[in-house]
Each structure stands twice: as C-alpha cells, then as structure tokens.
Structure 1
C-alpha cells in the first residue's frame, strides 16, 4: 500500500482508491481513503467499522463508559503519608497532591483529566500521560493519545513507549517517563478494551440503529400502495404526490382520509407491530454490552427483566461498586503509587466514603454508629462534613459494651452477691 499526495487537478476532487497494476495492493490518494484503509481491520460481520468514536454512538456503550468514568473522576483522590504504624496524615505538600487535587497540567482540571484517562482505558485499553519533570518531582502530566503510542518490551525486559507526534516524528519514551494506566491485559504490558471483543455486538447494534432510522425515516406508519389499471394524467399525478407528502408529514392531517381519483385503489402493506418487534432485539445487544463493561443493566435503564424496587436495586448497585468500580480505583491507586510516587511512606487512595455524599440519611447513620462506638470524635465528624471544630469536641464516647470496664464488672459482681443472699433468706 503506497501513500501518494494529490497534485494538479486531482486536488479538486476525491478520487476513488485504485488498485495497482503491478505488485497489487491499494493506492491511497486521499485522506478519506487512508482513514478507511486504517479502519478496515475493525469491520464487524454486520459491515460496520467499530472504532472507539463510532462505538460511542451506541447508547449502551456511551452509558457504560460514562458510568465507569464517574467514580474515578468525582471521588476525592487523597495523597496520604504514614507517620507511624497507626497514624496517617494528608501529604498536602507532595507534588502528587497538587497534580490530582489542583491541576494536572496547564489546561485541564483534575476531574477532566481523570475522566479522560479513564475513558481512554475503557475505549482503547490504555491511557498514557507524559511526566514533565520538575525540581520537586513531576510538575505536570501531559496526556498522550493512545492511538499514537506503541508500547514494547525489549530483549532486556525493559518497557519503552514509542510516541508519534502530530508532525509524524517518533519519540521513544522510557517507562519512567510515562504515567501508564491499563486494566485487563493478556501480555502484561498493554491493556485490552471491551470494544476489541465486543466488536460484533457493537457492530450489530450500529447496523440495527441505522436500519431502524432508515425505516422510520421513510415513514413506516404510512406504508401502503396505490394501484390502478389506468394511466394517471400529469395533473392527477401532481395532485396525488402533493397530498401524499402532506399525509407523510403528519400534523393536523394525521388520521384523516385521502381522496383517490382516476380509479386508484389503496392497499395497506404497512409494517405490523410484529414486524417491528425486531427493534426489541437491540435491547439484547445492549445487555451484552453492559455485560462486557461490568455495568448492571438497570443502570442503563433496562429494568424489564430485573426488579426496580427496594433491596434488589441496592444489591445490584453494591455489586457494581464492589466488582467494577473497585477494580477501577485499584488500577488508579497502584498506577499512581508505581509510576509517580517514589517515597515508600506516601501513597494514593480514593476516599470511598464520598459515595454516600448525596445520601444524607446513610451518611449520618454511619456517623452516629462511629460516635456511639468511639471510632470518631464529634470534631472528626465536623471535619468530614467540612465544618469548623467545636470546643470540647475531641472526646471519644465509650462504647455501649462495657464488659471490659473494671468498675462495671465489680458492680455486676456485687449485684450477683446480693441476689444470692436474698435467695438464702
């Protein structure tokens, strides 16, 4: 396959790809043909090119990616320091704290950066960011498009990333120069994306969506034929065409009668509801896509075959947090600890308590239990609620179980002795 620029008169139009007479292959003569050739390996059996951008046109794919990106993007990412075996403190002076709580680079906010990197993992299998060195550590993370990065493992087992710039120049980056995130992997150095293995399902959904649009766009509810043994005059034909178009447009004429002339007979051939039930098959492909991404179908609005009440939904939500969101959090935490933080006593951790920020009842029920059992002090609760401490609020209430209290145990023994004396009398 050769790449030739268009010159002369060919620049005014987009010629079609031509087959070479010698040597075979395809001659690429336009950017559109180059894009088509590069995407040809992603063609599904349904005839649809399934790329990350086109896959997002499927509502189920977009919904799954959006939901999977929400957790890492919205939960606070804390940078902690181990003071001793039992004490932890916020490492707000660490450069990683500034990157993930203030600004990862000059043009992105932490929420935008984390959401974009997570989307790259879900749609392309890998997410890359160039680490810009500074005096006190990495001073910025510059995102690299995964389609322009090729990860390799050399003979000495070291990892390198070959990055192709927009001008076509290739730059080799060492492993320590890149912040690399990936989830499921088959070779240990790069990740795979659900789109790779869900290509047929996504391609089928794309094809069904296009076909449904064409059917409905052509007026599936009009659907009839006009027959006559006579030849229509030009005037009658024009009138018939005009009235037919009015009926196809709907509006006030919807459900009205059509006046036929010149012996025309109407024969209904519209699609029945049974004929249109094939559209429901698209829900099956959506359920399969949800399975690929580990998202409960009810979170995509598919509640026909599952309960939408009470503990059923709550259990499914908890399953999503335990088996899907937790996997994403672990990927981020281990990636930051391995690629960005060199100090052994500093680590990154998502604040999972933030999941109940919007549920004030659940949040305060947890606080009450923590206060009752002496886990939190009142000032600790105020701190978690971003409120100022109060005087005398650093006390810890004793738990209701006082079995280990010596004075309480002595009182219990005295009560037993008094009871025994009364029985002897």
Structure 2
C-alpha cells in the first residue's frame, strides 16, 4: 500500500465497531474511540464539549477565526543568513515555494496555515506529513487530523507518531517524517487543548444558548397577563383568544387600543431577576472564553470592558499582537526551522513579516516608513518594495540620521577672527 493510499484511505469499506462478549465496544477507528470517550467530554452542565461543539459558541468561533486568520494572512519569508549582520531573501530555496506558493496540491498557503492554526487552538497540536522528493527536499505538507494521531515517546526520548486512517489501519511514522506544531505543553511532547480546560465555561455557554433558544421557541415569558374577576368558560376563552390573535396581527388594528370586557384587567410583565442574571451570565461567559484564548474582548464584539486590558482599545490591540499573536508566530517559525530546514542549510530560516499587521492603518504605516528613512534604516526603494512598488532611480540612498551628522574635530575660524 502506497503512502498516499494509506493516508487518504482506500476504496474498501471501513470496519465497523462491534460489540464484545462482555457488552463493551471494540475500537476499530478513531471515531469509535471518540464515541467511547464522549462521556469524558461532558461538562457539569450536561453539555458535551469537544472541538466541534465548542465552535458552535460564537465567542469560541470568533477567537479561533481571529487568531487563525492573522497567522494565515501574515506574509512569511525565507531568509538566508550571509553573516552576522547581512540577510537576503532565499527565493531559490525549496522552502520558498513550499511556504509561500504551494504547500500541497490542493491548498493555498493561507488555507493551509489557517487549518493548522485552528487545529493548534482547538486541540493543542497540529500535524503534517512531510512528502520528500529528490535529495530529501520536502515537496508537500499533507495535513493530518489530530484526532487520528497518538504521540509516543520511547525510553531513548525518540518520538513516534501512530496514525489511524479512515479504514482503521494504523501506521507508525518516525519523528523526522512529521511536522509537529505544539501549543502549551505539560510533558514536552503533547500540546494542551484550550477546550480541555475551558470545558466548563464553554459547556455553560452552550447550556445558556439552548435555554435561550427553547425560551424563544416556546414563548415561555409572556409580555402581559389578562385578569378576569370571575371564571371564563371554554367558549369565552376561545373567543378571547381569537380576538387577541386578530389584534396581534396588526392591519387595521395597528395602533388602536385593546377593549377589555366583563371587568377584565391587563398587567405588564417586566424582565425577571432570572432573565437579568441570564444576560449577565452570557456576558461573563463570553469574557471568560476570550481570556482563555488571549483575545481582547472588543475583538469578539464585547466593547463594554474596552479598558480592561491597557488604557483602551488601541492598547488592547497592541497587547494582542505582543502577548498572543507573537506566541503563535514564534511557534510556527521555530517549528519550520526545526522540521523543514535541512541540517546542511543552517543559514536558512523563516520569519513572519510583523510589519504587515499595520497594513490596514495607512497613518501608522506612513509614520513608520518616514521614521525608518529619516534614521537611515530603510532606503526609499526598500519602502517601495514593501508596498509592492517598483524601484525608482536614485532610490538606493540611505539618509544620514538627524542630529547625528559628523563634523570636524575643531571648529573652523571665521575670516574676521585674528
């Protein structure tokens, strides 16, 4: 069986889980295993919380979308280290095409990174099989579903990856065959899933959404109540109900007053304390989820506490880039350098262009480029290259930094001095 046939599965029908003699379930596939441990994923609220159900919570989906989108859309460069101070683009290296143009035959670079980052956020790990070509160069990165992989570390500290395909067959891959992105880890091998530790918070949010949906479906909280001093018979109740339904339909009754007969009275129902607590609980749950993922609340639509991280929304955005996004970008860079760069190419490394984070802010970009040129860090043509513009004649000059121009050791005497 070829590697692609094993990896993507064959045409054979998958084996089904069967009942054992003692009533237990025999595990033949990752789905069987997932079904068997579903009870362990149940929160105290009664909700089953896993990577799939968690995405049904708006706050979780927003956090995963924001972080994954930032990692997917930031340009990644492959650089060659010439000496201690000199770097150049390694556009001729095989990693340039792999990371910037075609990671595999069906995904774009942004699709691939977005998918892998989502796996990392929801499961703590992301895996890709390295398909090698001539001279051991990696020509494809095939994403592998984290739920189908078990990581094992031997006594000699070597790591192996046991993968189960859709047909239930298993194959063990050595460490050098897998690109493994690891999030927060407690054992140095397996990443910790945010969902595991945020299970109760997410389960509570799912329960509150179910409660709200059921409430609106059944109309459990009426806006008003009618009172009758006596007792209405079945016929009178039906007549009253028909009248109220006709009134609620609007039309010619729109804006008119409701006439009550037989001494009936109407009372308005205000929001109960339970309703108020329900709304506040949803806000608290949303902020808690944002905290687990390290996303400022305002980025997922919660603007009530815009000053809870820094002095305002701008500072929160800076904090997100510094303390949350930087962590993920560094994980990607170090993993690429470890798993994809051959040992003989120790002068090659990958790096995200963090400056692209401000490409949506024209004023900030303008100020940054101006300062870089004034202090001689960038030449005009380098700025034009960052803006995808062609160089201009004479644009390779580096300006002297202001207030630091060198002068003569001794001042010149003027002609009038004696």
Asked if TM exceeds 0.5, the reply is yes
Once the two structures are TM-superposed, the CA of residue 371 in structure 1 deviates from its matched residue by 1.5
- Pick one of 390, 394, 397 that aligns with 1:392: 394
Once the two structures are TM-superposed, the CA of residue 259 in structure 1 deviates from its matched residue by 6.3
What residue number does 1:224 align with?
Answer: 225
Once the two structures are TM-superposed, the CA of residue 285 in structure 1 deviates from its matched residue by 1.1
Q: How many residues align?
A: 395
| 1:317 aligned onto 2:317 | yes
What residue number does 1:159 align with?
Answer: 159
Secondary structure, aligned partner of 1:129: strand
Q: Which has the larger radius of gyration?
A: 1
What residue number does 1:131 align with?
Answer: 130
- Say if 2:131 and 2:139, in contact at 8 Å, map to a contact too: yes
What residue number does 1:46 align with?
Answer: 45
Listed as ranges, the matches of 1:65-214 within 5 Å are 65-136=64-135, 137-214=137-214
What residue number does 2:372 align with?
Answer: 370
CA change 1:199–1:225 in 2 (3 A) is farther
Inter-partner Cα distance in structure 2 for 1:176 and 1:297: 40
Secondary structure, aligned partner of 1:281: helix
Inter-partner Cα distance in structure 2 for 1:146 and 1:277: 40
| 1:348 aligned onto 2:346 | no
- Say if 1:222 and 1:248, in contact at 8 Å, map to a contact too: no
CA change 1:62–1:314 in 2 (3 A) is same
Once the two structures are TM-superposed, the CA of residue 400 in structure 1 deviates from its matched residue by 1.9
What residue number does 1:282 align with?
Answer: 282
Inter-partner Cα distance in structure 2 for 1:119 and 1:58: 15
CA change 1:264–1:120 in 2 (3 A) is farther
Secondary structure, aligned partner of 1:414: coil
Secondary structure, aligned partner of 2:92: coil
Structure 1 unmatched ranges of 5 or more: 6-19
Inter-partner Cα distance in structure 1 for 2:73 and 2:247: 50
Secondary structure, aligned partner of 1:224: strand
Once the two structures are TM-superposed, the CA of residue 23 in structure 1 deviates from its matched residue by 4.8
Inter-partner Cα distance in structure 1 for 2:348 and 2:241: 76
Inter-partner Cα distance in structure 2 for 1:169 and 1:138: 25
- Say if 2:128 and 2:143, in contact at 8 Å, map to a contact too: yes
CA change 1:65–1:243 in 2 (3 A) is farther
- Say if 2:185 and 2:192, in contact at 8 Å, map to a contact too: yes
Once the two structures are TM-superposed, the CA of residue 401 in structure 1 deviates from its matched residue by 2.5
Once the two structures are TM-superposed, the CA of residue 269 in structure 1 deviates from its matched residue by 7.7
- Say if 2:17 and 2:32, in contact at 8 Å, map to a contact too: no
Inter-partner Cα distance in structure 1 for 2:108 and 2:282: 37
Inter-partner Cα distance in structure 1 for 2:39 and 2:125: 21
Deviations for 1:283-328, whole angstroms, at most 9, x for unmatched residues? 11111111111111122222223349x9622211111111100000
Inter-partner Cα distance in structure 1 for 2:268 and 2:274: 11
CA change 1:246–1:64 in 2 (3 A) is farther
Structure 2 unmatched ranges of 5 or more: 1-15
Inter-partner Cα distance in structure 2 for 1:253 and 1:286: 42
Deviations for 1:259-298, whole angstroms, at most 9, x for unmatched residues? 667x695665845254421222111111111111111112
**C-alpha RMSD of matched pairs (Å):** 3.3
Once the two structures are TM-superposed, the CA of residue 333 in structure 1 deviates from its matched residue by 0.2
Once the two structures are TM-superposed, the CA of residue 177 in structure 1 deviates from its matched residue by 0.6
Inter-partner Cα distance in structure 2 for 1:130 and 1:402: 53
Once the two structures are TM-superposed, the CA of residue 335 in structure 1 deviates from its matched residue by 0.6
Secondary structure, aligned partner of 1:212: helix
Secondary structure, aligned partner of 1:46: coil
- Structure-2-length-normalised TM-score: 0.84
- Say if 1:121 and 1:127, in contact at 8 Å, map to a contact too: yes
